[in-house]
Amino acid sequence: MLAKIENLVKDYYLGKTTVHALRELSFGIEKGEFLSIVGPSGSGKTTLLNLIGCLDLPTKGDVFINGKNVSHLSDNEATNLRLKTIGFIFQSFNLIPVLNVYENIEFPLLLLGIKAGQRKEAVVSMAQKVGLHEYLIHKPDELSGGQRQRVAIARALVGNPLLVLADEPTANLDGETGHIIIDLMLEMNRELGTTFVFSTHDEMVIKHAQRKIFLHDGKIDRIEE
């Protein structure tokens, strides 16, 4: 098992009111699986992925990644863990606008301190895999939404993470492009063996997923295999 979520609780405090975003969630993520988290807007998908991705700390409960409890990490420990083991794909692509495609993909490798030669090899081969090798020197604003998300996928995968977290990666894309992007992620999942967890509120895009966890109001509604 790659990750284990145990009795996970996340509350947000807004002045005097408390928002219970996640209420005692428990499930596991298998190595190499392609898991989708499905739920309407506000059901807690982003909150859940943020906690698995060590971007935030839970109110209660634990997240284990590779057997290690990551619910109480310091900022630097969490950053290091994200850099080495987790890749992120966002709804609004979140590329660095001043960097071109090549440089955007290269960014995590620079943080990892990988040598120039190896870096170039990894970036070019990853760009090829996502079909962007002809766009290496383009800036993000010269690309379509689908192309931007491909760059994001390449950036998430280039450092060989164990786990890729994609929070509604298709929400800003049209239906067809959305499918293509999910297909690409599936392909990467099969080819590289990387574990994928992606969230969506659109049941149409999840027909490919092996396993679906349905969230409702911060709780697991049901799990479909």
Partner 1 sequence: MFLLILAFKNILRHKRRTILNITALAINVAGIVFFTAFYRGRIVDNYDRTINYLTSHIQIHNPLYETEKRRLPLDLTIKDSKKIKNDLKNHEWIRGVSERVEFAIIVNNGLDQMPCLGIGIQPEEERNIGILPEVITGGDYLVPGEEGILIGSKMAELLNLKVGDIVFLYVTTSLNQPNLFETEVRGIFHYGFPMLDKYVIHCSYDFIREYLNMPEGATKMMIMLKDRRLIPEMMNYLSEYNLKEYSGELQINRWEYFAQPLIEDVKGDTFFMGIFFFILVLVGLFGIINSMSTSVFERTQEIGTIRAVGTRRDQTVRLFLFETLAISLIGVMIGWIIGFAISLYLARAGIPLGQAFSETEMMAVPMGEKLYAVLGIWEYLGTLLLGLCAGLIGGISPALRASRLKIVDALRK
Ligand X SMILES: Nc1ncnc2c1ncn2[C@@H]1O[C@H](COP(=O)(O)OP(=O)(O)O)[C@@H](O)[C@H]1O
State how far the Cα of 41 lies from the Cα of 195, in Å rounded to an integer.
24
Burial of 116 (0-12, 13-18, 19+ CB in 10 A): exposed
Q: How many residues bind partner 1 (CB under 8 A)?
A: 26
- Looking at 44-52, 118-126, 135-143, 172-180, which segment touches ligand X (CB under 6 A)? 44-52
DSSP codes, 43-72: SSHHHHHHHHTTSS--SEEEEEETTEE-TT
- Closest to Mg ion by CB, 46 or 104: 46
* By CB under 6 A, residue 39 contacts ligand X: yes
Partner interacting with residue 73 (select from partner 1, Mg ion, ligand X, none; CB below 5-8 Å by kind)? none
Partner interacting with residue 43 (select from Mg ion, ligand X, partner 1, none; CB below 5-8 Å by kind)? ligand X
Contact 34/210 with Cβ under 8 angstroms? yes
Of the candidates 111, 136, 162, 180, which one interacts with partner 1 according to CB under 8 A? 111
3-state secondary structure of 103: helix
Closest separation between CB of residue 61 and ligand X, Å?
15
Residues 190 to 219 in contact with ligand X, rule: CB under 6 A: none
* By CB under 8 A, residue 55 contacts partner 1: yes
Residues 2 to 21 in contact with ligand X, rule: CB under 6 A: 12, 14, 19, 21
Contact 89/166 with Cβ under 8 angstroms? yes
Residue 82 structure tokens: 């994200």
| DSSP 8-state assignment for residue 89 | E
> What's at 202, amino acid-wise?
D
Residues 183 to 222 in contact with partner 1, rule: CB under 8 A: none
Q: Which residues bind partner 1 (CB under 8 A)?
A: 46, 50, 53, 55-56, 75-76, 79-80, 82-84, 88, 90, 92, 94, 96-99, 107-108, 110-112, 155
